[in-house]
DNA sequence: CGCCAGGTCGTCT
DNA sequence: AGACGACATGGC
């Protein structure tokens, strides 16, 4: 087993996991605020200890998780830029300075955020767990069983009824259709060559994927930081803290991308986490 | 009962 | 282009 020890000033496990960018993480129990984090078929253990952040994983997965947790990026510089903006953003950045934007698998991210639409985070986590347990491979980490996120092929093998049974509701049709039609080209180089706008056009052409889900896939799956997902929480921030007048969420997103440029995605996470933390005391 | 949750689709102006 | 209701489910 590998143990990766890092400076924890800009890497807080709890904040990184609870800001809504991923849904497959679990309290590990072994120590306070220690978590198992699943990505595709892999798992690691993540926690803060003193001034450090620690990742424990299989040796073969070391490079995968170094990239996953975006270890090569200077988050101190991003937090500083947010603090310079002043107002609510500097407050939010101080609260969320330990947040990192993960480099998640593109396919898992897209499927997951289709599940997320018009849904709440605890329920999204439950659905994705049932999806994995019902269609994914069983794996083991530190003697504990878990399930891999299903491949598109594994999802396509399931009947529509399965997706309804695990609680997807009307989203079952979206998941089923994407699984059936999935051509696996997400990782092709031509896909990476698209600019963010063209990428979003391609994503929104998928049935069940609108501007918000496309922005989440773009930000969390492709690390396009010039993406700014606008959901109900961000809309509240926009109206209450930026005195916004717009109602069209796509235009609100454009407003923030124009304003913050390549920092937009990071700042969005600070703002989302801040706003949601205010109302969800348990975070 | 109602309203809300990391929205999108189809339909009608 | 923009407005609006329908859509499954579960928590409060």
Q: pLDDT value at position A240?
A: 94
Q: Is residue A156 over pLDDT 60? A: yes
Nucleotides of C under 7 A from a protein CB: 2-3, 7-11
Is strand C in 7 Å reach of the CB of A117? no
State the Cα–Cα distance between residues A157 and A164, nearest whole angstrom.
14
Is strand C in 7 Å reach of the CB of A167? yes
Comparing every residue's Cα with the C1' atom of nucleotide C1, the nearest one is A248
State the Cα–Cα distance between residues A177 and A168, nearest whole angstrom.
13
Q: Is residue A281 over pLDDT 70? A: no
Q: Choose the weakest-confidence range: A141-155, A186-200, A201-215.
A: A186-200
The tokens for A162 are 């399965």
Q: Is residue A9 over pLDDT 80? A: yes
Is strand C in 7 Å reach of the CB of A118? yes
Is strand C in 7 Å reach of the CB of A211? no
DSSP, res A219: I
The reply to whether the predicted model has a pTM over 0.85 is yes
Other C-beta atoms lying within 10 Å of the C-beta of residue A51: 9
The tokens for A202 are 């391609």
Q: Is residue A283 over pLDDT 60? A: no
Q: pLDDT value at position A183?
A: 86
Give the active site residues of A: 212
Q: Is residue A282 over pLDDT 80? A: no
Give the distance, in angstroms, between residue A170 CA and nucleotide B7 C1'.
Answer: 12
Q: In Å, what is the CA distance from A50 to each residue of A11, A15, A46, A53, A71? A: 12, 16, 13, 8, 19
Is strand C in 7 Å reach of the CB of A94? no
How big is the CA angle at A18 (ends A16 and A23), to the nearest 5 degrees?
100
Comparing every residue's Cα with the C1' atom of nucleotide B6, the nearest one is A231
């Amino acid at each position: 087993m590998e143990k990766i020890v890092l400076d924890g000033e800009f890497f807080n496990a709890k904040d990184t996991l609870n800001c809504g960018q991923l849904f497959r993480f679990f309290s590990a129990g072994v120590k306070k605020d220690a978590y198992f984090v699943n990505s595709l078929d892999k798992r690691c253990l993540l926690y803060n200890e003193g001034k450090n952040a620690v990742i424990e994983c299989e040796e073969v997965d070391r490079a995968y998780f170094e990239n996953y947790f975006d270890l090569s990026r200077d988050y101190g510089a991003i937090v500083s830029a947010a603090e310079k903006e002043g107002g609510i953003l500097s407050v939010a950045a101080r609260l969320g300075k330990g947040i990192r934007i993960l480099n998640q698998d593109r396919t898992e991210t897209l499927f997951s955020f289709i599940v997320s639409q018009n849904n709440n985070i605890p329920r999204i986590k439950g659905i994705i767990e049932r999806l994995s347990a019902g269609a994914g491979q069983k794996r083991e980490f530190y003697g504990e069983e878990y399930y891999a996120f299903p491949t598109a092929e594994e999802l396509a093998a399931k009947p529509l009824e399965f997706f309804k049974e695990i609680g997807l509701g009307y989203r079952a049709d979206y998941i089923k259709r994407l699984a059936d039609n999935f051509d696996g080209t997400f990782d092709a180089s031509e896909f990476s060559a698209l600019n963010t706008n063209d990428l979003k056009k391609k994503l929104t052409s998928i049935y069940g994927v609108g501007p918000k889900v496309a922005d989440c896939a773009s930000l969390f799956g492709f690390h396009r930081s010039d993406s700014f997902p606008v959901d109900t929480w961000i809309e509240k921030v926009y109206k209450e803290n930026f005195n916004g007048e717009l109602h069209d969420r796509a235009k609100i997103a454009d407003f923030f991308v124009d304003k913050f440029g390549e920092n937009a995605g990071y700042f969005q996470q600070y703002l989302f986490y801040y706003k949601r933390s205010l109302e969800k005391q348990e975070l």
